[in-house]
Amino acid sequence: METSILSTNPSFILKLTDSIQLLRLPSSAPTSPPLRASITSLSCLSLLFLQFSIHKFLCEFAPQFLLFLFFSSLSVCRIFENEFFKQDWRSRGKLQIFQYVLMKWLLCALIGLIVSLIGFCNNLAVENIAGLKFVVTSNMMLQRRFVMAFLVFFASNLGLTLFASVITAFIAPAATGSGIPEVKAYLNGVDAPGIYTLRTLFVKIIGSISAVSSSLLVGKAGPMVHTGACVASLLGQGGSKRYGLTWNWLRFFKNDRDRRDLIICGSAAGITAAFRAPVGGVLFALEEMASWWRSALLWRAFFTTAIVAIVLRALIDVCLSDVPSVFILGVIGGILGSLYNSLLTIVLRAYNSIHEKGFAYKILLACIISIFTSCLLFGLPWLASCRPCPLDATEACPTIGRSGNYKKFQCSPGHYNDLASLIFNTNDDAIRNLFSKNTDEEFSYSSMLIFFVTCFFLSIFSYGIVAPAGLFVPVIVTGASYGRFFGMLVGKNSTLNHGLYAVLGAASLLGGSMRMTVSLADAFNANIYDLIMKAKGFPYLETHAEPYMRQLTVGDVVTGPLQLFSGIEKVRNIVFVLRTTGHNGFPVIDEPPYSEVPVLFGVILRAHLLTLLKKKAFLSRPVAIGDEAFNTFSADEFAKRGSGNYDNIDDIQLTEEEMDMFIDLHPFTNASPYTVVETMSLGKALTLFREVGLRHLLVVPKISGVSNSVLPYCHFIEQVKCGLVEITSCGYTDKARFYAGTHTRFESFAGKKQVEKIKN
């Protein structure tokens, strides 16, 4: 519309150009008539050229330019950290924070419920409208009324198409097309007008039903994505003010990022509603729609699509009798997984205290665990009674000389020991036996309970010994036995076989222990691998920032003094700093006379400084080396060394003459380091470390108009244990050095020699 107006309305252009005032000469201009005439002619020519340029711009480029005036950009950051937000966040108690987190999950559930209902009604309407059309047409064809059949088919298709086009063109033009480009652009940070209004939502639903029913070769998946995004947007903003449909209890999300997360969940729900594929919906949102992704968003998106899949199955197949039992199975499995993590942590602490006593104690502990395990596993099957072989067994019973479901053990011919069938097999064969279907009568209650308890505790006590050991398969075996036992308790009240319950039990225990999926156990402790890392003293930066990190800035926790180098530095100074500090990186600045004002040039690594000292490419005078550096050094000399292969400053021997020489650090310095102001919150700093993969970060003061005073106060942020950020002003704090000095458990893990080597 804008193109036709601008191109066919010259009066609009003339009015715009006429509004430009003629160029006037200043009072001090020369008064010579020839010169003044020349200047006047030049001014007229300039004005004509300007008018022509404006006309060309308005006719050819303005339509595209003006189109962008209707768009607005969205904030990529989670929060806009002004003082009002900080005060609002400080005033929140634990109850308000819990309510904020709960509302995220509640809105995801509402999105899943509403989108699934829309998807069901959409399918039902299309089936009935299109079905009625095809039935009437087919009946007329059977009556050999071919012309009338064509007219009915033609008129119904035309009427449905016309109806969809009219309501879209006059009521909600933003509902045109699939809607996926609009949603994708929004998730990339561009907010187009009218794409998430209530009017657009209703037109999208009704128009999609009409268009699909009209035999047009169009699909419903794209419109369902847009529909899910509209539902998520309306819920995220608390409803629609224009139509008086607002709910204050929903208005919790006051920033672009939270609402964008909901729209990602809505788009995933739309794909799930179209194809009944929850995992496919999550993958579509991850790979195609979202420009920014986080692990927490993955679980919320999967939760939303799972709600859609369950509700659709309930509405279409009317089969919800097994949902309560599966829900209870999952809850108990999550609690058991959390208990498993807590007990394993206690056992590992006890083992660490034993390991500190020396190698003999480590080996002795492993032997004791092995002896205890052998005696227990060989003795337990004697407690189980022999069971007669089933008449419809799919394999030889009892199983002799190979793995199988029916171990004879001490039983008489024609009988098997069900507990021995699980214990006297490898873990893989035990899992296969537990997962097998059509074997509901194969195991007894007592044998399954004994096997579950045995696996639960033996896997805990076996993990901490000094031997390569994993937890994944033992947790699967334990979870499968728990699930199988639960299925036996449910019995005939469920239509699911015991093998499927074993699969669900393994998944629930994995979720509770290793957090392979969303788990209620997060309320009790961390996943098992995080707990083990903590016990061993490994530094690890958590995914999410703690609430208190939003109240602190990086400037609140920096310390001094700062160690830095000039762009052309004396060898003696470099050696002194390297010997007296263990930092990994150092700021490099240029100061007068090498620059007019102090300028931050970049950051240089400790390993690169050591390489320069070993190469002894020194300068007798403080001058720039220039392109000579490329002839003296090669990129391989500055490549990352293998793990554990590091140079030591004490191994480099320098004479007094060499110590008084200089090194030009410019060619070897990273001239584009990440730099932030001191008012940045710790939460944002943590996000930078996690998402960008930083090792250190420069912090500068926020002093307006004093660009040369920021350099002496640069500080480095170093990531340390439990998601906290250790900020040091003197470059870099080595993580291993930090933990060797502060965590005694590190010594039991790495050994005293390694700790002393790190400290020295």
Chain mean position to CA 171: 38
The pLDDT-based confidence of 387 (bands split at 50, 70, 90) is confident
State the pLDDT at residue 10: 41
**CB distance 213 to 126 below 8 Å:** yes
pLDDT digits (tens, 9 = 90+) for 524-559: 888 888 888 877 777 777 777 777 777 778 777 776
Residue 76 domain-assigned (yes or no):
no
- CB atoms inside a 10 Å sphere around CB 41: 10
Longest dimension (CA), the chain: 130
Residue 346 and residue 307 share a domain: no
State the pLDDT at residue 717: 33
Residue 287 domain-assigned (yes or no):
yes
Separation between Cα atoms, residue 552 and residue 519, nearest integer Å: 30
Residue 353 and residue 457 share a domain: yes
Percent of the chain exceeding pLDDT 70 equals: 74
Residue 389 and residue 261 share a domain: no
Q: Which of 315, 348, 381 is a domain's end point?
A: 315
State the pLDDT at residue 453: 94
State the pLDDT at residue 336: 92
pLDDT digits (tens, 9 = 90+) for 264-285: 999 999 999 888 888 888 888 8
Question: Tokens 């509901």 label which residue?
Answer: 440
Could you give the number of structural domains in the chain?
3
Residue among 515, 549, 508 at smallest CA distance from 531: 515
State the pLDDT at residue 709: 27
State the pLDDT at residue 736: 37
State the pLDDT at residue 71: 54
Chain mean position to CA 53: 49
The pLDDT-based confidence of 390 (bands split at 50, 70, 90) is confident
Mean pLDDT computed over 250-261: 72
Residue 108 and residue 137 share a domain: yes
CATH number of the domain within which 531 lies: 1.10.3080.10
Calculate the average pLDDT of the chain.
75
Residue 655 domain-assigned (yes or no):
yes
Residue 44 domain-assigned (yes or no):
no
Residue 503 domain-assigned (yes or no):
yes
Whether residue 258 is predicted with pLDDT greater than 50 in this model: the reply is: yes
Whether residue 130 is predicted with pLDDT greater than 80 in this model: the reply is: yes
Separation between Cα atoms, residue 703 and residue 698, nearest integer Å: 15
Q: Which of 286, 315, 344 is a domain's end point?
A: 315
Helices (DSSP H) in 19-93: which residue ranges?
A: 33-56, 62-68, 83-90
The amino acid at 280: G
Peptide bond before 667: cis, by omega within 30 degrees of 0? Answer: no
Instruction: Compare 645 and 177 and report the one with higher pLDDT.
Output: 177
Q: Residue 172: which residues within 8 A CB-CB, separation 6 or more? A: 194, 197, 199, 200, 202, 203, 204
Separation between Cα atoms, residue 442 and residue 330, nearest integer Å: 24
Instruction: Compare 236 and 725 and report the one with higher pLDDT.
Output: 236
Residue 211 and residue 159 share a domain: yes
pLDDT digits (tens, 9 = 90+) for 177-203: 888 888 888 887 777 788 888 889 999
Q: Are strands 585-590 and 599-605 parallel, antiparallel or unpaired?
A: antiparallel
pLDDT digits (tens, 9 = 90+) for 566-619: 888 999 999 998 888 877 888 888 888 777 888 888 888 888 888 888 888 888
Q: Are strands 698-700 and 675-677 parallel, antiparallel or unpaired?
A: parallel
Residue 705 domain-assigned (yes or no):
no
The pLDDT-based confidence of 347 (bands split at 50, 70, 90) is very high
Q: What spatial distance separates the first Cα and last Cα of the chain, rounded to whole Å?
A: 75
CATH number of the domain within which 634 lies: 3.10.580.10
Residue 325 and residue 309 share a domain: no
Mean pLDDT computed over 613-642: 78
State the pLDDT at residue 404: 66
Judged by DSSP in three states, 241 sits in coil
Task: List the single range of 256-265, 340-349, 363-372, 528-537 with lowest mean pLDDT.
Answer: 528-537
State the pLDDT at residue 406: 78
pLDDT digits (tens, 9 = 90+) for 233-249: 888 877 666 666 666 66
Residue 624 and residue 653 share a domain: yes
The amino acid at 504: L
State the pLDDT at residue 227: 92
The pLDDT-based confidence of 491 (bands split at 50, 70, 90) is confident
Residue 588 and residue 526 share a domain: no
State the pLDDT at residue 528: 84
Structure tokens at 392: 């419809």
Judged by DSSP in three states, 184 sits in helix
State the pLDDT at residue 44: 46
Q: Residue 481: which residues within 8 A CB-CB, separation 6 or more? A: 422, 434, 448, 451, 452, 455, 502, 505
Q: Which of 661, 682, 700 is a domain's end point?
A: 700
- Greatest mean pLDDT among 86-100, 208-222, 313-327, 687-701: 208-222
Mean pLDDT computed over 97-116: 86
Mean pLDDT computed over 240-265: 72
Residue 671 and residue 605 share a domain: yes
Residue 455 and residue 327 share a domain: yes
pLDDT digits (tens, 9 = 90+) for 438-489: 788 888 899 999 999 999 999 999 988 888 888 888 999 999 999 999 999 9
The pLDDT-based confidence of 641 (bands split at 50, 70, 90) is low
State the pLDDT at residue 48: 46
Residue 125 domain-assigned (yes or no):
yes
Residue 522 and residue 596 share a domain: no
Separation between Cα atoms, residue 125 and residue 220, nearest integer Å: 12
What DSSP element (H or E) covers 728? Answer: strand 725-728
The domain of 373 spans: 321-536
Residue 507 and residue 424 share a domain: yes
Residue among 303, 299, 298, 271 at smallest CA distance from 284: 271
- Greatest mean pLDDT among 273-277, 318-322, 718-722: 273-277
Residue 61 domain-assigned (yes or no):
no
State the pLDDT at residue 559: 64
CA dihedral (153, 154, 157, 162) positive or negative: negative
Mean pLDDT computed over 132-144: 87
